[in-house]
Chain A
């Protein structure tokens, strides 16, 4: 085998410039997704073999700039400094070249080995925009390769240029953009001072000087560690004062203005836009979709449509998977003579992990829809339409989609918060998602509301529970933003990109990726949790009860002759013994131990056990109650369980309401908790959150129980 030479390439560019599409076109199937170290910003890596080279690409987060204000920008530039790639490909959105060149200039300032991919060149041509590529190359001092990620044009040429830059066949001029005179002087002064510090060797001194003048916090913190800071700090202060008094501005603004002035010059020299100005499709669509009257209803309709599709298409698939797992249990059972082993596999693993896996079709479909909205450009409009409401609660317009996704399932919802850029917005949104009643809680409401309220009232009770969850969620967000998450929210200043028809491939790839993440969770932490809970609710075994069961079965065999009746009687006996075994197990004892704590909420130990097992998945609350209240196979429509609960002296409408509130608010299922921990990147936050959720659940259940006991 030939040893290929490796070339490391980073892709940098504005959001929506087509970077991901280009990355897909370049690397095809050879991709891997991880995180940049220490942050939960996705890092896409991939490679392509080209001639005798293996070219490895890293897709940096999409940024408008390279400042220290946002985590993405910091990640992108730290990557370029700490781990300099051989070549940096700056992806530029052709039709929007002017704004995109701002980033190009900042990359030039970092003196990286730069290539520009002039992407969406198909649109540039279709719109009749003329770009004098040769002249622009001369101005920027680097090669510019027209590409179209959509039409797969210019890909080979780009790879060819990468190799040539790597081999030194192409010279990157590293032109310097000269700022206005006073700024240039200031940059020189500071650069001169920084050169005296050898420890700053890995940085480009001029870049450091520019960043210091731009008031860059991170760079301040770096330079402050060295003795040169004494001199530099003073000089900086003086420069700031002078600019303020003499020029009535500040270096940061001046520097940006000069960058734009340079770009404007380049645009005048190299780019011609067509004369005629006609309304584009995007303008037409927006005049309807963002209309003052229609905008909101259309937004709600689109959201409804996505959910409707997710559930109408997803439910049959889900049922299919469900029965598949059922079949699996039935068909493996005979091969497992050992009862313990069979119980682990069938009641533990297949039931538990299967119960989580059945949501896979829904998750896949939901993310297909969301990826489509994102890539088409509608997501930014959705944020525009709802931002006012969300902002009132300290959230961002983009929080809305994850939030409502939470009504389906918290897991994809938490993963969908990745569209939020600011960590504090993300954290706040992640924390309120579990309060949105997910699909798995519905069986619990259906059971309880159905058992204790007339059908017409039951629907209102359930609706009330949903609304209550939203209220608690939004108030939680508000409280967090007012206290622990005061730090920067993301500015709402953002572009509404033109509508584009997303490429089928990249939408599918993205949705598959989320689905895989979910699968991985099911295979690891959820499996572990399921096994633990299985163990706690099965051990220790009371051998006397087993003997008792054998005795009763023998008795039934003797006395009952008719086959059907016999089976029924045996099943009933098994259930009674199973519920007594549960009482004897660790889970049962823990439930009894906990009883004093949950007594004020109207719960006895049996509900305690059901709630604890509900941590695996919320619908398990119903099946555990089925076992404890001595019934066989249980689901929410089970008339039997309903009537048993109704006749149980420990259960009344107040208890039912209190339990619904508790299930709504208490700790989310293990799957959601582990996704939370992955997305936040910190166990501590998740533990605090769980304590908070428990406290909130307890308090509101208590109030509900007391109030309902008095009123009902």
Chain B
């Protein structure tokens, strides 16, 4: 299934990329490579783009870009399935 088919709160695993060129490169650079476990954290107020969280970083992408990522569902919100390496507490200055 494609990342764009997931709902908010879904957890999934990246299987592969269909995206091409700059979008593909940027997805790879962000670390969304095969085997990465992520969660769809939220969708923007107007329904697009999405926000994902993985490895302690938050990344946004449009649904059209998300359609270039093949994923496999691996749990849902609040199911206590650990989020891969999501160990990093996000920081904030005061």
Contacts and interface: CB of A to CB of B under 8 A. Distances in A.
B46 to A, nearest CB: 4
A218 interface: no
Contacts of B34: 253, 257
Given A280-B92, A493-B59, A295 B31 contact: no
A64 B29 CA distance: 6
Contacts of A286: 58
A599 interface: no
Nearest to B35: A257
A498 interface: yes
Contacts of A70: 22
A120 B56 CA distance: 16
Nearest to A492: B62
Contacts of A252: 24-25, 28
A492 B88 CA distance: 24
B92 A282 contact: yes
Given A282-B90, A495-B58, A495-B59, A388 B49 contact: yes
B29 A277 contact: no
Size category, B interface: 35 or more
Size category, A interface: 35 or more
Contacts of B5: none
Nearest to A489: B22
A69 interface: yes
A492 B61 CA distance: 5
Contacts of A256: 28-29, 33
A493 B33 contact: no
A496 B60 contact: yes
Contacts of B56: 95-96, 273
Given A96-B56, A278-B89, A286-B58, 12 more contacts: A65-B25, A69-B22, A98-B85, A99-B31, A127-B91, A282-B91, A290-B42, A384-B49, A491-B26, A492-B61, A493-B60, A498-B92
24 contacts: A69-B22, A69-B25, A98-B31, A98-B85, A99-B30, A102-B31, A256-B29, A273-B85, A273-B87, A273-B89, A274-B89, A290-B42, A295-B45, A296-B45, A384-B44, A384-B60, A391-B48, A397-B49, A491-B22, A491-B26, A493-B61, A499-B93, A501-B93, A501-B94
* Among all A-B residue pairs, the 6 with the closest Cβ atoms: A281-B92, A501-B93, A273-B87, A295-B45, A388-B46, A280-B90
Interface of A: 64-65, 67, 69-70, 95-96, 98-99, 102, 120, 123, 126-127, 129, 150, 249, 252-253, 256-257, 260, 267, 273-278, 280-283, 285-286, 290-293, 295-296, 380, 384-389, 391, 397, 488, 490-496, 498-501
